[in-house]
Amino acid sequence: MSAVPAAAALAPRRLADFVTLTKPRITFLVVLTTLVGFLAAGSGATDVPLLLETLAGTALVAGAASALNQWAERDADAVMRRTLRRPIPAGRLAPRESAVFGIALGVAGIAYLAVAAGGLPSFLAASTAASYLLIYTPLKKVTSLATVVGAVPGAIPPLIGWAAVRGRLDPGAWVLFLILFFWQMPHFLALAALYRRDYARAGFRVLPVVDPDGTSTARQAVLYALALLVVSLMPTLVGMAGPLYFYGALGLGLGFLASGTRFAFHPESHAHAASLFRYSLLYLPVLCLLMALG
């Protein structure tokens, strides 16, 4: 008799662990940038059903990539303080069921996008997941350039939204790609600086691990923030957004650059790395909001 209540109590916890496996915060950012690409590509009334279908399919593929990434890196996650409580290393989910869950999500998302949004969005989503899992993930233990490689699939989501509307990739789509690409670099460099010892224990050759004094890491964060400032103004210059976006992006970009510069002057400072990371988390949703407002 007691087995039934115990199983009933266990079910919500397992469901929560499967949700955790999809990295909801990262999936949210993927969906948000897909939404921006969709809205930026539209020139009239928004096709709400197509929008919802595109976001749903993209969310499924993003969740699948996160789940399979955790499956692939379960041994590394087990030795990192930041990740050892994730469902697989903590033993709450078995590797096999996690892999099956991730594959099922990915197949469902790619197929759904193909039917609902078209071949190009589906291909882009599949390419994102494949390059993230098959190139970026194993490369992290080989070279610090893996972060640059990983920023490519990370910048594809707005292309998915754009392609769902237009069925092709115009120059404006690549402007959005560049914005997201350059945003990721200082964001991940700051994160890696914060958890340098964790990454070293796991054998990940991120830049802060091979750059112990942090000088090169901080310098690159500034250079990428400067590049981001420039490309973030391009939507107005190519007619995708108006003055509100331009001045908002300018202010946000200068703030990002200032935060990166403070980190560059104190590359050993945990506080300055944390400040840069927090600013990056604020920057992207606010920029997306400005672009949506035009």
Name 42's Cβ contacts closer than 8 Å, sequence gap at least 6: 165
Are 15 and 108 in the same domain?
Answer: yes
- Residue 116 and residue 50 in contact, taking contact as beta carbons nearer than 8 Å: yes
- For 263, the enclosing helix (H) or strand (E) is helix 243-265
Is 230 among the domain residues?
yes
Cα separation, 18 vs 21, whole angstroms? 5
Are 234 and 128 in the same domain?
Answer: no
Among the three residues 154, 169, 184, which one is the final residue of a domain in this structure? 169
The CA-atom distances, in angstroms, between 71 and each of 104, 169, 170, 240 are 14, 33, 36, 40
Cα separation, 280 vs 274, whole angstroms? 10
Is 178 among the domain residues?
yes
Among the three residues 169, 193, 222, which one is the final residue of a domain in this structure? 169
- Residue 150 and residue 132 in contact, taking contact as beta carbons nearer than 8 Å: yes
Name 293's Cβ contacts closer than 8 Å, sequence gap at least 6: 244, 245
pLDDT at 10: 62
Are 158 and 185 in the same domain?
Answer: no
Question: Residue 197 belongs to what domain range?
Answer: 170-294
Q: What CATH number is associated with residue 143?
A: 1.10.357.140
Report which DSSP code applies to 233.
T
3-state percent helix, strand, coil for the chain, nearest multiple of 5: 80, 0, 20
Are 213 and 199 in the same domain?
Answer: yes
Residue 270's CB is within 10 A of a number of other CB atoms, namely: 11
Residue 237's CB is within 10 A of a number of other CB atoms, namely: 10
Are 264 and 186 in the same domain?
Answer: yes
Cα separation, 179 vs 15, whole angstroms? 35
pLDDT at 7: 47
Is 163 among the domain residues?
yes
Are 179 and 240 in the same domain?
Answer: yes
Is 249 among the domain residues?
yes
Are 150 and 288 in the same domain?
Answer: no
Are 188 and 223 in the same domain?
Answer: yes
* Amino acid making up residue 156: I
91: region left, alpha or beta (phi > 0 left; psi from -120 to 50 alpha): left
Are 154 and 35 in the same domain?
Answer: yes
pLDDT at 182: 98
Is 197 among the domain residues?
yes
Are 116 and 202 in the same domain?
Answer: no
Is 2 among the domain residues?
no
- Residue 24 and residue 79 in contact, taking contact as beta carbons nearer than 8 Å: no
pTM for this structure? Answer: 0.92
pLDDT at 5: 52
Is 38 among the domain residues?
yes
Q: How many domains does the chain have?
A: 2
* Amino acid making up residue 9: A
Are 28 and 116 in the same domain?
Answer: yes
* Amino acid making up residue 57: G
Residue by residue, pLDDT tens for the chain (294 residues) are: 455 554 445 678 889 999 999 999 999 999 999 999 999 998 777 899 999 999 999 999 999 999 999 999 999 999 999 999 999 999 999 999 999 999 999 999 999 999 999 999 999 999 999 999 999 999 999 999 999 999 999 999 999 999 999 999 999 999 999 999 999 999 999 999 999 999 999 999 999 899 888 899 999 999 999 999 999 999 998 888 899 999 999 999 999 999 999 999 998 889 999 999 999 999 999 999 998 887
Are 148 and 89 in the same domain?
Answer: yes
Among the three residues 137, 169, 201, which one is the final residue of a domain in this structure? 169
* Amino acid making up residue 84: L
Is 6 among the domain residues?
no
